[in-house]
Amino acid sequence: MAPKMKSSDGRTRSSVQIFVVVGLCCFFYILGAWQRSGFGKGDSIAVAITKSGAECDVVSNLNFETHHGGEAGVGDDSKPKTIEPCLPRYTDYTPCQDQKRAMTFPRENMNYRERHCPPEEEKLHCLIPAPKGYVTPFPWPKSRDYVPYANAPYKALTVEKAIQNWIQYEDNVFRFPGGGTQFPQGADKYIDQLASVIPFENGTVRTALDTGCGVASWGAYLWSRNVVAMSFAPRDSHEAQVQFALERGVPAVIGVLGTIKMPYASRSFDMAHCSRCLIPWGANDGMYLKEVDRVLRPGGYWILSGPPINWRTNYKAWERTKEDLEEEQRKIEDVAKLLCWEKKYEKGEIAIWQKRVNAHSCQSQQDDSRATVCKASEVDNVWYKKMEGCITPYPDVSSPDEVAGGKLEPFPRRLYAVPPRIASGSIPGISVETYQEDNSQWKKHLHAYKKINKLLDTGRYRNIMDMNAGLGGFAAAIESRKLWTMNVVPTIAEKDTLGAIAERGLIGIYHDWCEAFSTYPRTYDLIHANRVFSLYKDKCNAEDILIEMDRILRPEGAVIFRDEVDVLIKVRKIVSGMRWDTKMVDHEDGPLVPEKILIAVKQYWVAGGNSTSPQ
């Protein structure tokens, strides 16, 4: 009897294997079909993945039919709630930077342009529609220079900034010649000027902050020099400037220097930049420059181009008085001196300062009664915290030549070198061994992801977000010149790891997922959500977080959820009412691991139109 039982078991296993193989073929065929809508409603990359769907062994080590018995829900047979589309007028709705709400706040110090999120009773519980005619953005690097008009149908800047070479409208696309207010001849030539002082080529300058970025051409052209810029600008009269940046495939958020601290860790950036950004740097005792100093790494550079630099020559063109401009520059120079920045360059309308590497060379600061020093324990406590007039202290050093906070490796070695914050034990509970194990784990996870979705390596996903970035392991594993990752460290995370992420040469930001993110709708191609819903359990409504994810995800964009199976079952039920298509997948180590992966793709649909559900 025993041999017969084994033969029967073999036939059963064989049947299951055939079923799984057929299921995988169907899934990849459908996945390719979902991703088909590029410019002109045809995406050659999607066509390629559709064809490759016939290769049914691409996920041979993963079992799509998970063994937790809960694919359709455990103990819950109720029908999913359908979340309806919002009205077409909400196509570009930004909940925490809503123009109408902004006008109810004080204008002093740009308070009204800061984050002001709606109270619970005013939140929209609907899905933001894409505008009619919306198409998948061009792939990088073409997207740097061209954006489909239908995706951001605003022509005001083509008129207002016509002579400055910002943006032009041609045949239903916007063209970005690479110009700016301070570099009408193009960002490349402008960056060449900066390169006479700043070492772009050797990897020591990797991360940059662009304040008041316009359409982010500076950041767009830095990319070819392997420098990644975090750009920000307010949602103001220059309609859609941050939206244009993200449509181009350039990292950007809606933001402003106002009354609260920037949502970045201290010592995050190798360089900060203002090109005629209209920020009053000398106002409020230099408070804004002190905030830039907080996020600027020791030895980092600050670039100011435009007023008031070289005011004696340019005051007439700027239509300002000599006295006004002279006073503005005097204040900037005084604050820079107080911060112990050294001026390295001034020519034409460009000035460059460099921050000292430690406090040893800044005796004058210690002797100045105006130099109030912030509490070291508070420098990264920034979420909705008022900006202060104090100076961020340098970390202690043991010699005059030591770089405060630790010297960083040039990029790309920086990506996997041990961040100084971890090497020094500054993050409780995170050791060098923990960091290295985390890196190995995320390389393994990404290998599994690529077997599930072969588009990850193609350039189809340019703008990527990691909603719970940890130590930045996912972003490091997926790092490529084809893409960038916005590493989000939740404000309620057990450990503050954003500074360590920055030390890896990656960009990131603090955020609370109980609120809307500071971006326009449809600005990310791929979202990674590792244990986000376990973290926010009992903190806020999971449906609200998912609706926000839908707002910022592009049509036919993808989401990778990684969480406990019971959490993902609840998530899957909510998104089944959101015009998303999903598939649950076992952990790469097998079906007995309680952590699972949920893959989701947002259907293509526009205001007043139908979706592309394959069902």
Q: Residue 33 above 70 pLDDT?
A: no
Q: Give residue 26's pLDDT.
A: 55
Position 325 in a domain: yes
The average pLDDT across 108-122 equals: 96
Asked if 37 and 612 touch (Cβ cutoff 8 Å), the reply is yes
- How large is the angle between the packed helices 322-338 and 311-318, nearest 10 degrees? 130
Please indicate, yes or no, if residue 224 is contained in any of the structural domains: yes
The more confidently predicted of residues 163 and 314 is 314
pLDDT digits (tens, 9 = 90+) for 74-87: 445 678 899 999 99
Sole residue written with tokens 């707002």: 551
Residue 599 and residue 595: Cα distance in Å, rounded? Answer: 13
- How many angstroms separate the CA atoms of 581 and 554, rounded? 14
Given a cut of 90, whether residue 40 has pLDDT beyond it is no
Distant-in-sequence, close-in-space partners of 286: CB < 8 Å, separation ≥ 6 = 331, 332, 334, 335, 338, 339, 389
pLDDT band at 179 (very low <50, low <70, confident <90, very high): confident
| Percent of the residues in the chain that have a pLDDT greater than 70, as a whole number | 84
Residue type present at position 120: E
CB atoms within 10 A of CB 43: 21
pLDDT value at 475 more than 70: yes
The pair of three-digit structure tokens given for residue 109, joined into one six-digit string:
């110090």
Q: Give the pLDDT band (50/70/90) at residue 317.
A: confident
Angle subtended by helix axes 542-552 and 565-575, to nearest 10:
60
Is the pLDDT reported for residue 610 higher than 70?
A: no
pLDDT tens digits for 232-253?
999 976 678 899 999 999 999 9
Q: Specify if 355 maps to a domain.
A: yes
Amino acid 391 reads I
What pLDDT score was predicted for residue 184? Answer: 74
- In angstroms, the Cα distances linking 124 to 114, 362, 425, 520, 546 are 20, 51, 43, 15, 12
Handedness of CA 424, 429, 431, 437 (dihedral sign): negative
Q: How far is 480 from 433, CA to CA, in rounded Å?
A: 25
What is the per-residue pLDDT for 57?
A: 30
Report the pLDDT value the prediction gives residue 182, as an integer from 0 to 100.
81
Q: What is the mean pLDDT of residues 356-384?
A: 86
- Dig out the tokens for 8 from the structure: 């029967």
Whole domain around residue 261: which residue ranges? 184-378
Peptide bond into 119 cis (omega under 30): no
Domain contains 289: yes
Coil vs helix vs strand at 315: helix
Q: Using alpha carbons, list the distances in angstroms from residue 487 to 51, 244, 466, 510, 527.
A: 33, 21, 5, 9, 10
24-28, 49-53, 496-500: lowest mean pLDDT where? 49-53
For 333-343, write each residue's pLDDT tens digit. Answer: 999 999 999 99
Who's near 208: CB < 8 A, 6+ residues apart? Answer: 219, 222, 227, 228, 229, 230, 269, 270, 271, 272, 273
How far is the CA of 2 from the CAs of 5, 6, 7, 9, in angstroms? 5, 6, 9, 11
Residue 611: the pLDDT is 58
pLDDT tens per residue, range 533-586: 999 999 999 999 999 999 999 999 999 999 999 999 999 999 999 999 999 999
* pLDDT exceeds 90 at position 433: yes
Q: Residue 346 corresponds to which tokens in the numbers above? A: 């001034």
Q: What share of the chain is helix, strand, coil (3-state, %, to 5)?
A: 35, 20, 45
pLDDT in tens, 255-292: 999 999 999 999 999 999 999 998 999 999 999 999 99
- For 41, 209, 249, 467, 606, the CA distances from 129, given in Å and listed in that order, are 17, 31, 21, 22, 5
Residue type, 394: Y
Strands lying side by side in the sheet with 580-586 = 508-511, 484-490, 463-466, 524-530, 553-564, 595-602, 580-586
Average of per-residue pLDDT across 389-417: 96
Neighbour order of strands in the sheet with 228-233: 252-254, 228-233, 207-211, 269-275, 296-305, 350-354, 342-347
pLDDT, position 156: 78
For residue 400, pLDDT over 60 is answered with yes
Q: Which range is least confidently modeled, 108-117, 213-222, 499-508, 513-522?
A: 213-222
**Rounded Cα–Cα distance for residues 83 and 9 (Å):** 45
Cα–Cα distance between 579 and 600 in angstroms, integer?
Answer: 10
**Percentage of the chain surpassing pLDDT 90?**
76
pLDDT, position 371: 82
State yes or no: pLDDT of 118 exceeds 80: yes
Question: Could you tell me which of 285, 280, 186, 188 has the C-alpha nearest to residue 227?
Answer: 188
- 272 within a domain of the structure (yes/no): yes
> What is the C-alpha to C-alpha distance for residues 473 and 310, in angstroms, rounded to an integer?
45
Q: What average pLDDT does the chain have?
A: 87
Q: Is residue 262 part of a domain?
A: yes
More confident residue, 143 or 77: 143
Q: How far apart are CA 487 and CA 491, in angstroms?
A: 13
Average pLDDT rounded to a whole number, residues 142-146: 96
Q: Is residue 176 part of a domain?
A: no
pLDDT band, residue 146 (cuts 50/70/90): very high
What Cα–Cα distance (Å) separates residue 562 from each residue in 114, 168, 473, 496, 584?
32, 42, 14, 21, 10
Q: Give bridge partners of residue 528 from the DSSP assignment.
A: 466, 560
Residue type, 214: G
Number of domains in the chain: 1
Contact yes or no for 130/606 (Cβ under 8 A): yes
* Residue whose structure tokens are 């057990």: 494
Q: Mean pLDDT throughout 188-199?
A: 96
pLDDT at 27: 53
For 582, the token pair is 């999903």
Q: Which of 48-62, 66-80, 191-205, 342-356 has the lowest mean pLDDT?
A: 48-62
Residue 204 has pLDDT above 50, yes or no: yes
- Predicted confidence (pLDDT) at residue 34 exceeds the cutoff of 50: no
Residues 6+ apart with CB under 8 A from 495: 427, 428, 429, 430
- Contact predicate 44/38, CB 8 Å: yes
Given the DSSP bridges, would you call strands 207-211 and 228-233 parallel, antiparallel or unpaired? parallel
Confidence category of residue 25, pLDDT binned at 50, 70, 90: low
Q: What 3-state DSSP class applies to 156?
A: helix
Lowest mean pLDDT among 160-174, 371-385, 474-488, 530-544: 160-174
In a domain, 392, yes or no: no
Mean pLDDT in residue range 347-363: 92
**Close Cβ partners of 276 (under 8 Å, ≥ 6 residues apart):** 180, 181, 182, 212, 305, 306, 307
Q: What is the pLDDT of residue 457?
A: 86
DSSP codes, 183-237: -TT-HHHHHHHHTTTS--TTSS--EEEEES-TT-HHHHHHGGGT-EEEEEE-SSS
| Alpha carbons 468 and 217: distance in angstroms, whole number | 28
How far is Cα 326 from Cα 345, in angstroms, rounded to an integer? 18
Report residue 31 as tokens.
Answer: 């996945």
- Here the CATH number for the domain that contains residue 228 is 3.40.50.150
Are 71 and 586 in contact, with CB atoms under 8 Å apart? no
Give the side-chain half-sphere CA count within 13 A for 290.
28
For residue 15, the model assigns a pLDDT of 55
CA distance 339 to 553: 41
